[in-house]
Amino acid sequence: MENPQQSTSYSKAAASKYPEHVVIAVAKDSNGICNPITLGWAMTTSHTPPMMAISVAFTRYSYDVICEAKEFVISYPSKEMAKDALFFGTRSGRDMDKIKKFGTAVLPAEKIDCVIFRDAVANFECTLAGELKTGDHAVFAGEIVHAWINEEKKDRLYTLGSGYKMGSVTGELAVEYSPSLFEEE
């Protein structure tokens, strides 16, 4: 039998992951500002107790915020939140209140001191259960203490390819990054 696998670089093989799910993690900083970050690396890690994990680069402001807050929300953004997700992933909370600046609709979280996204498909309130340093990122494990689901039917947001192309899992493009996209911001 012929081997269909071809040896290649890590980056070329990793690019085959698309479409990749997107999450927005948000935690409240010491100034009382909820700071969101868009992430591609997230997963369920346990059913009992319910737990999820996210991976955040050490250089990101959100890394420090989550370490300090010891709690965070993981949101599954809807396709309608594509521009919000792109904004949150291309701007730093060190420089601005991203939620206020973009005008994203939020609601108060129930069990932790944070917010949830009104238009998300689902939101998961988490308390920090552990951190694992992995190269240039940290994996944060969060125990889910409360969960929310949107009663309105919403399509979940995915990254469709490199270059910040975001849309639905069917491949329908919702937004693609360009340097001029947020010029008026």
Q: Which CATH number characterizes residue 163's domain?
A: 2.30.110.10
* 11 lies in some domain: no
* 9 lies in some domain: no
How far is C-alpha 34 from the geometric centre of its chain's CA atoms? 14
Domain span at residue 113?
20-176
* 43 lies in some domain: yes
* 125 lies in some domain: yes
pLDDT tens figures, 26-75: 999 999 999 999 999 999 999 999 999 999 999 999 999 999 999 999 99
Kindly report the CA angle at 32 between 28 and 37, in degrees rounded to 5? 35
* 184 lies in some domain: no
What is the sign, positive or negative, of the torsion defined by CA atoms of 41, 147, 91, 135? Answer: negative
* 7 lies in some domain: no
Count of domains for the chain: 1
CA distance 1 to 117: 51
Average pLDDT over residues 82-109: 96
* 134 lies in some domain: yes
